[in-house]
Amino acid sequence: MTAVPTPLRDIAKVVRSKNAGPFEITLDIIFKSKEDYEAVKRSGVITKELVSELYNVPTQAIVTFGFFDLVNAVKITLPRPRVQGGIGETDMHAAQQHVPLQEIRIPWPVACSS
């Protein structure tokens, strides 16, 4: 087995974003199994600092960030970049703001052919 940087979209069961009320956006990463969840958690790649960088939000402004063992999921809640549905809105439901998370690369074991 060797580890290859693998995008989260190929590992997780769910990667999604949505409003949590008009002033917050919440992001969920839900894994297929406890093993996958634990492996991603152990990798140490997903951090508050990474989220801060991807979403241009200071770490101290992050509302919720955590690995939640009971549901094999990472949950991240951020202040919305603009209040929902006002002038300049680009995503009323914040349903398409998850893509930067999908692209996170996790060192992931793949079977060696040799």
Partner 1 sequence: MPAPTQNEIRILTPSGMLGYGFPIDHFKRGLALEPHAITIDSGSTDSGPQKLGLGEMTCSREAYLKDLEVLLGAQHDARVPLLISSAGGDGSNLHVDAFRDMIAEIAGRRGWRFRLATIHADIDKDHICRELKAGRVEPLGPVPPLDPREVEAATVVVAQMGAEPFIKALDEDRGLDVIVGGRAYDPAPTAAMAIRAGFDPALAWHMGKIMECGALCAEPVGYSIMGYLRRDHFEIEPLNPAERCTTASVAAHTLYEKSHPFLLAGPGGTLDLSNCTYEQVSERRVRVSGSRFDPGPRYTVKLEGARTAGWRSIFIAGARDPIFIGQIDSILDKTIAATRTYFAEVPPETYRIIPHVYGKNGVMGDLEPVKTPAHELCLIVEVAAATQKLATAICGKLRTGLMHAPYPGRIATAGNLASPFTPLEIPLGQACAFNVYHLMTVDSPTALFPIRYEEVA
Among positions 11, 15, 19, 46, the unique one binding partner 1 when judged by CB under 8 A: 19
Among positions 24, 38, 41, 45, the unique one binding partner 1 when judged by CB under 8 A: 24
Quickly tell me which residue has 């997780």 as its tokens.
12
Where residue 21 falls (left for φ over 0; alpha for ψ -120 to 50; beta otherwise) is left
Enumerate the β-bridge partners of residue 27: 17, 76
Binding flag, residue 7, partner 1 (CB under 8 A)? no
What are the structure tokens assigned to 70, written together?
């009971």
Report yes or no: 48 and 65 within 8 Å, Cβ to Cβ.
yes
Give the number of other CB atoms < 10 A from CB of residue 31. 21
Among positions 11, 46, 80, 108, the unique one binding partner 1 when judged by CB under 8 A: 80
Binding flag, residue 96, partner 1 (CB under 8 A)? yes
Among positions 2, 61, 109, 110, the unique one binding partner 1 when judged by CB under 8 A: 61
What is the distance of C-alpha 32 from the center of its chain?
15
Residues at the site binding partner 1, with contacts judged by CB under 8 A: 14, 18-24, 26, 28, 30, 54-56, 61, 63-64, 66, 68, 70-73, 75, 77, 79-81, 83-93, 96-97, 99-100, 103
